[in-house]
Amino acid sequence: MTEEARRELEEMIEENVPTDISPGMVVKGVVVSKRSDGVLVDLRTKSEGFVPQNELLRPVERYREGEEIEVLVTRVPRGDEEELIRASEKQPVIRKILDKIERAYREDSPVLGRIVDRQKGGYVVEIDGVIKAFLPGSHSMLERADRIPRKAMEFAIIDFRRQRRDRYNIV
Residue 16 pLDDT more than 50? no
CATH of the domain at 101: 2.40.50
Dist. CA 68–CA 70, nearest whole Å? 7
Which DSSP letter does residue 97 get? H
Burial of residue 75, with CB atoms counted within 10 A of its CB: 0-12 exposed, 13-18 middle, 19 or more buried: middle
Q: Which residue has the higher pLDDT, 14 or 60?
A: 60
Of all helices (H) and strands (E), which one includes residue 93?
helix 90-107
Structure confidence by residue, pLDDT tens digits, 97-133: 999 999 999 999 999 999 998 889 888 999 988 888 8
**End-to-end Cα, the chain, rounded Å:** 59
Q: Residue 26 — φ and ψ, nearest 5°?
A: -105, 125
Residue 21 CA to residue 106 CA, distance in Å, equals 34
- Cβ atoms within 10 Å, residue 148: 12
Name which residue leads in pLDDT, 95 or 82.
95
Neighbours of 133 (CB within 10 A): 21
Q: What is the reported pTM?
A: 0.68
159 lies in which domain range?
Answer: 92-170
CATH number at residue 72: 2.40.50.140
96 and 149 both lie in a single domain: yes
* Amino acid 53: pLDDT: 96
Mean pLDDT of the region 21-40: 94
Number of domains in the chain: 2
Q: Which of 61, 88, 115 is the last residue of a domain?
A: 88
- Do 17 and 33 share a domain, yes or no? yes
> Between the CA of residue 48 and those of 6, 53, 86, 155, what are the distances in Å?
24, 16, 9, 41
| Inter-residue contact 28 to 49 (CB < 8 Å) | no
